[in-house]
Chains A and B, each alone.
Chain A
Amino acid sequence: GAGVSQSPSNKVTEKGKDVELRCDPISGHTALYWYRQSLGQGLEFLIYFQGNSAPDKSGLPSDRFSAERTGGSVSTLTIQRTQQEDSAVYLCASSFFTGWRGYTFGSGTRLTVV
């Protein structure tokens, strides 16, 4: 597609439930990133995929968070046993590995845990 697509755009879930957030990167972009923005905060790095390399998971806040990227394209971020502090906008971005001029971000998924 022309841009990075994320779904759903909004998600309200009950505390304790699992959620899956989806990201479709720009075709041909080999790098994919997940960030989140909590209220009043900057963008917090979560995880980074680059080609077939092992992902950089250093930003995942707990083992309740996981992500996978199938076929080098679509990625799913899964949050298990959601907590209220997980409420945030989850942003996905993609880029070319070399010569990129910044990431292209999707519009994000606004997650609200009630």
Chain B
Amino acid sequence: DQQVKQNSPSLSVQEGRISILNCDYTNSMFDYFLWYKKYPAEGPTFLISISSIKDKNEDGRFTVFLNKSAKHLSLHIVPSQPGDSAVYFCAASVGGSQGNLIFGKGTKLSVKP
């Protein structure tokens, strides 16, 4: 039973446009959410996080939105660049920033020049 779901396995976007990656979760106890980016043959790297007490967190071109009532979060990348092409994983945890993370299956983003 998947607690963190990324329903789109892939997404293709034109360079300069907005990329929107979506993530849904089922466990209402999750209180900390993160996005990771993964290039082939490398480990995932931390991108951005958000606590459940917030509904938005912004870091440069990356913004994460959290809708607790819908149990949904999204990652916006504006403007998208070819170097953003990677697999993006959504992750969630119970108990704030500690403990193990539950990951989604990932969405492969392709940004075309």
Using CB atoms and an 8 Å cutoff, list the residues of chain A in contact with chain B: 4, 31, 33, 35, 40-45, 48, 50, 56, 59, 91, 93, 97-108
Contacts and interface: CB of A to CB of B under 8 A. Distances in A.
Contacts of B45: 105
Interface of B: 4, 6, 34, 36, 41-46, 49, 89, 91, 97-106
Given A4-B43, A42-B106, A100 B100 contact: no
Given A42-B4, A102-B49, A108 B43 contact: yes
B103 A43 contact: yes
User: DSSP majority for the B interface?
Assistant: loop
Kindly name the residue among B34, B41, B98 whose own CB sees the greatest number of chain A CB atoms within 10 A. B98
Contacts of A59: 100
Nearest to B105: A42
A56 B43 contact: no
Contact of A45 (B6, B49, B102, B104): B102
B97 A45 contact: no
B43 A48 contact: no
Nearest to A44: B103
Given A91-B43, A103-B46, A48 B89 contact: no
A93 B38 CA distance: 14
B4 A102 contact: no
